[in-house]
């Protein structure tokens, strides 16, 4: 009788393993939709202002293995005083095609730098693309403002 009990346990174990293998063979890894992919963004920006600020810069979007250079221009309204230069790195998400990356982005935020500091930005354009970047900046700046940033692919 002890042999048949061991045989039943072994049979159940084999059946459980077979079910697990079968279930895992149907599993699909969770990957982002090909329709929307994220891209890596790197940018250098120079900003200056007193009440009304302006800025310009350039960067590169790396998207689906290709590099796309772009130009940045922008205006900020609110409390703005000083001048800074910054290097930002981050990600752009919600891109369906590379042309979606260009456009007018909006941001509400603030920052402070005295010789050196850290900058961060969260932007969204009319096509649903969101850019989140951060990085070091140098200069003197005090800002609490609303920004409109235009990105154009070159």
Measured distance CA(104)–CA(125) in Å, rounded: 5
End-to-end Cα, the chain, rounded Å:
80
User: Token digits for 57?
Assistant: 């810069």
The residues that bridge with 69 in the sheet, in sequence order, are: 60
User: Token digits for 90?
Assistant: 């981050």
Residue 75, CA atoms < 13 Å, CB-side half-sphere: 3
Angle at the Cα of 98 (from 97 to 102), degrees rounded to 5?
Answer: 120
Q: For residues 137 and 63, is the Cβ–Cβ distance under 8 A?
A: no
Q: What is the CATH number of domain 37-153?
A: 2.40.128
Distances (CA, A) of 106 to 64, 103, 114, 122: 25, 10, 25, 9
pLDDT digits (tens, 9 = 90+) for 60-115: 999 999 999 999 998 887 767 788 888 999 999 999 999 999 999 987 666 655 55
**Helix extents (H) in 2-111:** 2-26
Q: Say if pTM beats, i.e. exceeds, 0.85.
A: no
What's the residue count for the chain?
154
Measured distance CA(70)–CA(68) in Å, rounded: 6
Highest mean pLDDT among 5-9, 34-38, 133-137: 133-137
Measured distance CA(36)–CA(39) in Å, rounded: 10
In the prediction, which pLDDT does 30 show? 42
In the prediction, which pLDDT does 13 show? 78
* Mean per-residue pLDDT over the chain, rounded: 81
């Amino acid at each position: 009788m002890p042999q048949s009990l061991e045989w039943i346990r072994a049979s159940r174990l084999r059946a459980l393993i077979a079910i697990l293998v079968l279930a895992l063979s149907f599993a699909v890894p969770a990957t982002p939709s090909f329709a929307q992919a994220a891209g890596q963004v790197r940018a250098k920006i120079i900003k200056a202002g007193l009440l009304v600020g302006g800025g310009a810069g350039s960067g590169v979007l790396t998207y689906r293995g290709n590099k796309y250079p772009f130009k940045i221009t922008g205006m900020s309204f609110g409390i703005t005083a000083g001048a800074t230069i910054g290097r930002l790195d981050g990600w752009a998400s919600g891109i369906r095609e590379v042309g979606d990356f260009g456009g007018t982005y909006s941001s509400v935020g603030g920052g402070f730098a005295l010789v050196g500091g850290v900058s961060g930005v969260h932007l969204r354009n009319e096509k649903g693309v969101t850019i989140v970047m951060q990085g070091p900046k140098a200069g003197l700046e005090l800002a609490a403002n609303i920004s409109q940033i235009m990105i154009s692919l070159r």
